[in-house]
Amino acid sequence: MILFLAARPVTAPPVRPTPRRARRRARFRSRLRFLAPYRRIFAVPGARAFTAANLLARLPMGMLSVSAVLMIAGSRGSYALAGAVTATGLAATALAGPWTARLVDRHGQARIAVPATALAVLGSLALLLCVHYGAPDWTLFACYAATATTPNTGGLSRARWAHLFRDDPAARHTANSFEQAADELCFLLGPVLATLLCTALAPEAGTAVAAALLLTGVLLFAAQRRTEPPVAPAPATGRTRSPLRLPGLPPLLATFLATGAVFGSLEVVTIAFADGHGLRSAAGALLALQAAGSCAAGLVHGLRRLAAADDGDSDGAPPRSTRAWGTAGRRFLGCTTAMAALMPLPLLAATAGGPATLAAALLLAGMATAPTMVTGMGLVQSLTPPGQLNEGMTLAVTALLGGIAAGSAGGGWAVDHLGGAGAAYGVPAAAAALAAAVTLLATRRRPACPPAPAG
Residues near 89 by beta carbon (within 8 Å), at least 6 away in sequence:
65, 68, 144, 145, 147, 148
Rounded Cα distance, 119 and 100, in Å:
12
Q: Are residues 324 and 400 in the same domain?
A: yes
Rounded Cα distance, 140 and 162, in Å:
38
What does pLDDT average to over the chain?
A: 75
Rounded Cα distance, 362 and 346, in Å:
6
Percent of the chain exceeding pLDDT 90 equals 4
Structural domain that includes position 449: 243-455
The residue that leads in pLDDT, 31 or 58, is: 58
Query: For the whole model, what pTM was predicted?
Result: 0.70
348-366: per-residue pLDDT in tens?
A: 888 877 778 888 888 888 8
Tally the domains of the chain.
2
Is the CB of residue 149 less than 8 Å from the CB of residue 163?
A: no
Q: Are residues 221 and 191 in the same domain?
A: yes
Highest mean pLDDT among 3-7, 19-23, 247-251: 247-251
Q: Are residues 188 and 259 in the same domain?
A: no
Average pLDDT over residues 117-122: 91
- What CATH number is given to the structural domain containing 258? 1.20.1250.20
Residues near 435 by beta carbon (within 8 Å), at least 6 away in sequence:
255, 258, 259, 262, 336, 339, 340, 372
Q: Are residues 218 and 318 in the same domain?
A: no
DSSP labels for 260-326? Answer: HHHHHHHHHHHHHHHHHTT-GGGHHHHHHHHHHHHHHHHHHHTT----TTTT--TTSSPP-SHHHHH
236-277: per-residue pLDDT in tens?
A: 555 566 666 666 778 888 888 888 888 877 877 777 777 677
Is the CB of residue 108 less than 8 Å from the CB of residue 121?
A: no
- Whether 169 maps to a domain, the answer reads yes
